[in-house]
Chains A and B, each alone.
Chain A
Amino acid sequence: MKHIHKRSIFSFLLIPSAIVCFLFGIFLIVWLRSSVRTVEYSIASLDNMRLEAIKDRKTLMAEKASLLSLQSIRNMQEGKSNLVFPDRVKVIYVKREGQSIPFRASLKGRRFR
């Protein structure tokens, strides 16, 4: 009959496993911290991109507001034709009543939104 000593099992299996677990735990902690740091760098980079986009947006909005001013439109028309508001005799007014009426296509009762 073969006799197996309990202590040798412990030292042969459990101690190496514990060391592996310990090292793996340390690796996980380091890896997690490094990942967090990498994400922070990515977010910072995205933040910068966002700020750049906001900056461009502000510039474009200002440009749009500038181009849409009646004065700019008048200046563009300079020498071509004079920009005037329509003569009220020539304007056809359409009454807006209550709720908007649903649009009906060929199928009766069908509503398009």
Chain B
Amino acid sequence: MRKRAIILNTAIIFGFVAVFFRLVDLMILNHGRLSEKAKMQQLKREDIQVRRGTIFDRMGRELGVNLEVESLYCDPESVASPKNTAYALSKVINKKPEAIVAKLSAKGRFVWLERKLRPETTERIRRMDIKGLGFKPDAKRFYPKKMLASHIIGAVGIDNQALEGVELRYDKFLRTPGGKIFISRDAKGRTLSTGVDRESKGSNIVLTIDEALQSIVEKGLDDAMVRWQAAAATAIMMDPFTGEILALANRPAYDANNAMFTQDSERRNRAITDCYEPGSTFKIIVGTAALEEKVVNLDTKFDCSRGEISVGNAVIHDAHRHGVLTFREVIQKSSNVGTIQIGMKLGKERIYKYAKLFGFGEKTGIDLPGEISGWIRPTKKWSAVSPGAIAIGQEVAVTPLQILRAYSAIANGGILVTPHVVSEVRSPDGNSIYSFSAAEDKITISRKTANIFKDILKTVTEEGGTGKSASVEGNPVAGKTGTAQIIDPRTKRYSREKYVSSFVGFVPADEPIIAVVVYEPKGQIYGGVVAAPIFKEIARQSLSYLNVQREDMKGENILVVDRRR
């Protein structure tokens, strides 16, 4: 009995000694290595989900948001039968089986099969329960208004990298760096709460555009494209006092949700990337310069009865023959002969000086990528024809936005504003981290000249003016028509078939300014016939939306509510 007790005691002691040594091994000798191994098993490293900020219009309507979707990947080494798997998947993800087989048979342990699946597609694949396939959460940039304002908002690529528009220009605010987090998990792979937010969101952007005005402008352009079978068209609406772009649209356009499958011509923001010879809309330069420099007064007469004028070795004609016209009538009837005579009185240095003062030949500074500066040659490179040609808007190249900005200087009393599309950037918690502040606005002409010229521009849309069809019932419109020939690349001469028709105006005198440019319309060429009615339709609906009261109803005891913010 005693002998058995000694054996038992000895066994227990040895057992404890063995346990002790094992503990020393685990806790002291191999502590570092084993604790690292344990951490690797218990902790899982995950990427923080990075989400771009939301883009809003000026009224807080979402124009660019994120959708939570999933992307499908495979571990080629774990896929049992690539051919069968590819065949099954091809029915769901709309890809050829051969393309899927190539991915399923690729080297490595991770290959993307399809990015950003629709939720219903994800569910269907998940139900197939195919070994070797997996899903990773992903964010898809979604533009709920589709084509609306796509040239302003821009687009992103498959990895949410900025490609165009505000998405590109304000990328540093919209994106966020992300990072990694460690999540504890148990033996079954279930994760424990970390208490850390697994999503990091970029700052939100508030645009100056208004969805409703943008929609009105786009509808106007769509109608114009159909009616005139035009090659392209552009329209911009801006607040002339602040430079806030209220709407900007181009045709052709694209759906930003499918930006990768669109053509370059559809993605081109013609309002700032295309220049054209402005034609008569440029006559405000010599007009305002002549008034400012006191070269003419409103009643100065110009003989336009011949209907043509020789400048250098060229003869420039009027579209219709006029008699003797006053300065006011020269602008109202858009007489080339009269304008060239004014230009000759001014001289090339002053024409050039005022063209530069109105911002031509320079970028407007709009906060969108891809803007060009247009083109006006320095006077030493002008030919004998140049003063006459430039006075009527030839031999210069401008963007629609430059023309709009020049007219806004007349609307606002002579100040050249900086157009912009972003008013504010807000951090995800709502604090303002950027708001637009213009560099010092330049003064182009005196307030007095601007007001006089504003009145002259009003006569353009009255009886006898070239822009009669731009007039809006109830409110006076100030504006100017433009018809310009396009250089034919084959003959290097002005084409007799291809024109650019335009109208720039503001209504009422201190309200939004709108520019409409239609490229290569068919059937009619004149800005007063092609572009002015589009302006009218856009203006009519915009005034209704903005609750602008008709001036002919004043004094009838009507109360007005100002809904604008």
Contacts and interface: CB of A to CB of B under 8 A. Distances in A.
Q: Do A and B interact?
A: yes
Nearest to A56: B68
Given A40-B192, A71-B146, A62 B67 contact: yes
Contacts of A88: 474, 543-544, 548-550
Interface in B203-254: 211-212, 215-216, 218-219
Given A44-B191, A54-B68, A59-B68, A70 B561 contact: no
Nearest to A67: B144
B248 to A, nearest CB: 16
Interface string A45-58: 01100010011001
B561 A95 contact: yes
A18 to B, nearest CB: 23
Interface stretch (B58-66, B402-410, B434-442, B518-526): B58-66
Given A55-B68, A62-B65, A71 B148 contact: yes
B474 A47 contact: no
B547 interface: yes
Interface residues of A, number: 34
A66 B550 contact: no
Given A58-B65, A71-B145, A95-B561, A85 B545 contact: yes
Contact of A47 (B65, B147, B193): B193
A102 interface: no
Contact of A85 (B192, B195, B544): B544
B66 A44 contact: no
Contacts of B553: 89
Contacts of A61: 62, 65
A1 interface: no
Interface in A33-47: 37, 40-41, 43-44, 46-47
Interface residues of B, number: 43
Between B65, B119, B474, B541, the greatest number of chain A beta carbons within 10 A of the residue's beta carbon is seen for B65
A62 B62 contact: yes
Given A58-B65, A62-B67, A69 B148 contact: yes
B299 interface: no
A107 interface: no
A51 B195 CA distance: 13
B36 interface: no
B67 A84 contact: no
Contact of A44 (B119, B192, B548): B192
A37 B543 CA distance: 63
Nearest to A63: B144
Contacts, number: 93
B353 interface: no
A49 to B, nearest CB: 12
Contacts of B218: 71
Nearest to A66: B144
Contacts of B549: 88, 93
B6 interface: no
Interface in B51-89: 61-63, 65-68
A9 interface: no
B562 interface: yes
Contacts of A105: none
A66 B65 CA distance: 11
A34 to B, nearest CB: 13
Interface in A72-113: 74, 84-89, 91-96
B561 A93 contact: yes
A96 B562 contact: yes
B279 to A, nearest CB: 31
A85 B541 contact: yes
A59 B560 contact: no
A19 interface: no
Contacts of A54: 68
Contacts of B559: 93-95
B61 A65 contact: yes
A79 B139 CA distance: 37
A73 to B, nearest CB: 9
B302 interface: no
B550 A62 contact: no
A84 B541 contact: yes
A88 B474 CA distance: 9
B65 A65 contact: yes
Contacts of A68: 61
B145 A65 contact: yes
B316 to A, nearest CB: 42
B226 to A, nearest CB: 15
A86 B193 contact: no
A87 B541 CA distance: 8
A40 to B, nearest CB: 4
Contacts of A63: 144
A96 to B, nearest CB: 5
Interface string B534-565: 00000011011101111001000011111000
Nearest to B545: A85
Greatest chain A CB density within 10 A among B62, B184, B190, B560 is at: B62
A42 B374 CA distance: 63
A43 B191 CA distance: 10
B198 interface: yes
A51 B65 contact: no
A15 B278 CA distance: 105
Contacts of B144: 62-63, 65-66, 69
Nearest to B184: A40
B142 interface: yes
B560 A93 contact: yes
Interface of B: 61-63, 65-68, 119, 142, 144-148, 184, 190-193, 195, 198, 211-212, 215-216, 218-219, 474, 540-541, 543-545, 547-550, 553, 558-562
22 contacts: A37-B192, A40-B193, A43-B193, A43-B195, A44-B190, A54-B68, A58-B66, A59-B67, A62-B65, A62-B67, A62-B144, A65-B61, A66-B144, A74-B215, A84-B541, A85-B544, A93-B559, A93-B560, A94-B559, A95-B559, A96-B561, A96-B562
- A-B pairs with lowest CB-CB distance, top 4: A43-B193, A65-B144, A85-B544, A95-B559
